[in-house]
Structure 1
Amino acid sequence: MVFNITSSKTSSDGAWQGDNPLNYAFPLLIIQTTIVLFVSRFLAFLLKPLRQPKVIAEILGGILLGPSALGRNKEFMHWIFPSWSTPILESVASIGLLFFLFLVGLELDLSSIRRSGKRAFGIAVAGISLPFLFGVGVTILLRKAVDGAERVGYGQYLLFMGVCLSITAFPVLARILAELKLLTTQVGETAMAAAAFNDVAAWILLALAVAVAGNETHKSPLISIWIIISGAAFVSFMLVIVRPAMNWVARQCSPGQDILDEAYICLTLAGVMISGFMTDLIGIHAIFGAFVFGLTIPKGGEFAGRLIRRIEDFVSGLLLPLYFASSGLKTDVAKIRGVEAWGLMALVISAACAGKILGTFVVAMLCMIPVRESLAFGVLMNTKGLVELIVLNIGKEKKVSFPCTF
């Protein structure tokens, strides 16, 4: 039986009236969320003795629920993750992703880049440029070796692979440094400043790759130019107009005015959604707008602290695991067949790690940083995690990538 969700109610009338709740969007979403949370938390418990972060368990949970493992059972996929439910699950997960990138922007202090000076800037540039160049070489090999690669435009595929290999997971790095009590040390501050610059540059490059990808669906090459100009105008508007406005809002926030503060917080949350809509309207992914809006919020004050407390647990604990699950449902490890495919995968991983560590290490040494600290910078800047998964999903969604690469 083929079930058409578009002609149904959201919720069922109940089992006593002959309805199967799994044929309706809302009860099925509840079951999907429960299963995802249970699997991810169970894996996190198993990996705890190995001191692995929760993000590893959530990624493994998503792959386990997808076609690589449990998804091979057709009955399981038919009842728990039917194809008609995928857009609903992805929409709910995307809201979590939107607010997660807002939190990334909120925690990223642009002034720290200026305070850290040329040293952090040099480390960041090296940490981006060398793996990006390695990505160019990998791109040439992949286009020759992987079936279907020729259907992707060379320019956007090159940009996409460069971003994938050169990005540093700023939120993951921040949590690692905090756990190791290195956040306030010179190594920690410089690494955070370099990662902040790396993050901003990577999202700009990704926005550029998405804009260039628009040429595949539009005949006019001017479309990409208009998208880039509109994106630059959006960023300028946010930093010149919205940022001073959010500074004023933050100054109004005080412990004795809960009702007024609630209104400002709700206004800010609405701003996240509107910013995401605006960049989606422009032709750049919605998360870029949420990220830029997060940059406009004053750092370190009462207002930023309240926003983080209100959003972080709900987003990280409930919505982000759904994003990993939706990613896992699109991931089939069985597509990596043969020695050549596994060799290419090893090459991509090696290029990403070697480029990031080597580039950072060499520049750190040139800045007269001791060998041990230089190596620490290289390893820290090689931090990977959720951000790379987001980039991969955007590439697949915008058809900049293809299943085997994903």
Structure 2
Amino acid sequence: MAPGNGTCYKPMKATSNGVFQGDTPLDFALPLAILQICLVVALTRALAFVLRPMRQPRVIAEIVGGILLGPSALGRNHEYLNTLFPVKSLTVLDTLANLGLLFFLFLVGLELDPKALKRTGKKAFAIAMAGIGLPFIMGIGTSVVLRGTISKGVSGPPFLVFMGVALSITAFPVLARILAELKLLTTDVGRMAMSAAAVNDIAAWILLALAIALSGTGSPLVSLWVLLCGAGFVIACVVILPRVFAMMAQRCPDGEPVDEIYVCATLCCVLAAGFVTDTIGIHALFGAFVVGILVPKEGAFAGALVEKVEDLVSGLFLPLYFVSSGLKTNVATIHGAQSWGLLVLVIVTACFGKIVGTVVVSLLCKMPFQEALAVGFLMNTKGLVELIVLNIGRDRKVLNEETFSILVLMAIFTTFITTPIVMAVYKPAKRESKTEYKHRTFERQDPSDQFRLLACFHSSRNIPGLINLIEASRGTEKRQGLCVYALHLMELSERPSAILMVHKARKNGLPFWNKIQQSDSSNQVVVAFEAFRQLSRVVIRPMTAISAIHVRPVTAISSMMDMHEDIC
């Protein structure tokens, strides 16, 4: 994209005086940025809508949308490219994109709970190490082939490490979204994949920090100083920040709004950490990620931070990073039998290393073959973190344009095949046929048996009518032994925090309400059904009463298109 003749462009002014005074809005930074954001958001949302029936994560649509807006597709028209994405505007675009990415990596850190990592079993840890080790080694082997063909002249050690990291990464946020879409979060496969992916994510960031330190243009001593300063920064954060955040969280009790000054202070801390790590020479994203991990996950504080940040970041700023990456991706550079053969080699190496390594260790850990295969394909999920690694390598001249494009296509392919393959190889529950339900009618119910009802509702507004219907179902004799499963159907939105909501609502595979961690509306549901249960108590002798109705509030979080599967 950048011209090779070193031409200097005049900085763009922020705002125009309007078309009536002879100004062209697209020659000014603010109106051009607004148009770019609107175009990117519209295209990525449209692609996400098209891919929705295939249950593909939104990151696929965002990566593909960025590529379509770049020189691989629409960018072949130079008039379009020079009008909507001129070279002089890319500094503003990249700044906004990286600022959004900074806060998004903070949100990713919020999803990772260090206490949960400590409880990670040996099995999940072994699977994670296998999912990193074998593809990392095979990535180094692939890098030797690439250096001898299309990546001649690049620095050896940084290129080896970047290739190893690129092939061994598992995208934790994307994996969580796929598991939620496939209703596998509470299965053994889902829990194992999430635990292993969390360990993988931490290890990938450590390896990425190493790769960035090695990619510097200075002497090995400079790289050593970068690593030591980075380690010192992490130690300082671990010692200081948890105490500060714990003090903030204690002053933000559940059920009360979080003081704005604490939210502002935390966001400023994210920016400051990004500044420090960028000054050290690692990357600003690393500091934001570390701060996100150290924020306490209990209580309302973390939820308030997510509410304040995620919609603006995920909805507007983050798509800019994908178009910024797409402008650097030119699929046309992959030409000839050699380049396409190398693309196939990279894809096969990435899939083989990750899947085979994970499956073999899973089988050694006594997992059934079907579950081990599903975990292997799930751990092969790429996403935004993969794109971050590739862009850092591209910016630091470790990856050239052709290698960058090959690795981007590899990330798209491996993520795209995850959902359909997992759906094909792993079916956790076989549905009963209609004939097995033949004699389960109300008329054939034994009056002495417990009568169980499944009552579904979307919001607390449905509860009064639902309780009246349940009361009528007891009949005139007010039979005892009525068990009501009150199923609260909640929509799984595109927001990243929806995954956090699933984790809180689904405990140990049973989605029972957690009164402490749920929202006010959820507590209202629990209180309403508890009051109904108390009022339905039956007196069997003086001073003694038993509950005639047992109510079990349950929640199911799914997308609207397949919510019926939670009922049927």
Q: With structure 2 as the length reference, what TM-score do the two structures score?
A: 0.68
User: Equivalent residue for 2:377?
Assistant: 379
Relative distance call for 1:277 and 1:376 in structure 2 (3 A) is same
State the structure with more CA Rg: 2
Shift of 1:4: 4.0
User: Equivalent residue for 2:220?
Assistant: 221
User: Equivalent residue for 2:123?
Assistant: 119
User: Equivalent residue for 1:199?
Assistant: 201
Is 1:135 aligned to residue 133 of structure 2?
A: no
User: Equivalent residue for 1:325?
Assistant: 323
Runs ≥4 residues deviating over 3 A: 2-5, 255-258
Is 1:165 aligned to residue 130 of structure 2?
A: no
Confirm or deny: 8 A CA contact 2:393 2:399 kept in the other structure. Answer: yes
For 1:153 and 1:36, locate their aligned partners in 2 and report how far apart those are by CA, in whole Å.
Answer: 35
User: Equivalent residue for 1:262?
Assistant: 260
User: Equivalent residue for 1:26?
Assistant: 30
User: Equivalent residue for 2:237?
Assistant: 238
For 1:57 and 1:279, locate their aligned partners in 2 and report how far apart those are by CA, in whole Å.
Answer: 31
Confirm or deny: 8 A CA contact 1:5 1:24 kept in the other structure. Answer: no
Confirm or deny: 8 A CA contact 1:177 1:188 kept in the other structure. Answer: yes
Relative distance call for 1:154 and 1:4 in structure 2 (3 A) is closer
Confirm or deny: 8 A CA contact 2:185 2:191 kept in the other structure. Answer: yes
Partner of residue 80 from structure 2, selected from 76, 86, 92: 76
Shift of 1:387: 1.3
Amino acid of the structure 2 residue aligned with 1:159: V
For 2:67 and 2:42, locate their aligned partners in 1 and report how far apart those are by CA, in whole Å.
Answer: 14
User: Equivalent residue for 2:524?
Assistant: none
For 1:264 and 1:53, locate their aligned partners in 2 and report how far apart those are by CA, in whole Å.
Answer: 33
Confirm or deny: 8 A CA contact 1:113 1:121 kept in the other structure. Answer: no
Count of equivalent residues:
398
Is 1:249 aligned to residue 253 of structure 2?
A: no
Write the mapping of 1:7-406 to structure 2, written as runs, cut at 5 A: 8-146=12-150, 149-214=151-216, 216=217, 218=218, 220-254=219-253, 258=257, 261-406=259-404
For 2:47 and 2:74, locate their aligned partners in 1 and report how far apart those are by CA, in whole Å.
Answer: 15
Higher relative contact order (CA 8 A, sep 6+): 1
Identity of aligned residues (%): 58
User: Equivalent residue for 2:486?
Assistant: none
Larger CA deviation: 327-336 vs 369-378: 369-378
Confirm or deny: 8 A CA contact 1:97 1:320 kept in the other structure. Answer: yes
For 1:254 and 1:18, locate their aligned partners in 2 and report how far apart those are by CA, in whole Å.
Answer: 56
Shift of 1:79: 1.1
Relative distance call for 1:136 and 1:9 in structure 2 (3 A) is closer
Q: With structure 1 as the length reference, what TM-score do the two structures score?
A: 0.95
Confirm or deny: 8 A CA contact 2:253 2:299 kept in the other structure. Answer: no
Confirm or deny: 8 A CA contact 2:147 2:153 kept in the other structure. Answer: no
User: Equivalent residue for 2:431?
Assistant: none
Amino acid of the structure 2 residue aligned with 1:226: W
- Secondary structure of the residue aligned to 2:259 is helix
User: Equivalent residue for 2:548?
Assistant: none
Residues 85-107 of structure 1 deviation map (CA, whole Å, 9 limit, x = unaligned): 01100100101110111111110
Amino acid of the structure 2 residue aligned with 1:241: I
For 2:389 and 2:19, locate their aligned partners in 1 and report how far apart those are by CA, in whole Å.
Answer: 42
Shift of 1:185: 3.0
Q: CA RMSD in A?
A: 1.5
Confirm or deny: 8 A CA contact 1:243 1:296 kept in the other structure. Answer: yes
Confirm or deny: 8 A CA contact 2:254 2:299 kept in the other structure. Answer: no
Shift of 1:3: 9.2
- Secondary structure of the residue aligned to 1:399 is coil
Relative distance call for 1:378 and 1:209 in structure 2 (3 A) is same
Confirm or deny: 8 A CA contact 1:136 1:158 kept in the other structure. Answer: yes
Shift of 1:184: 2.9
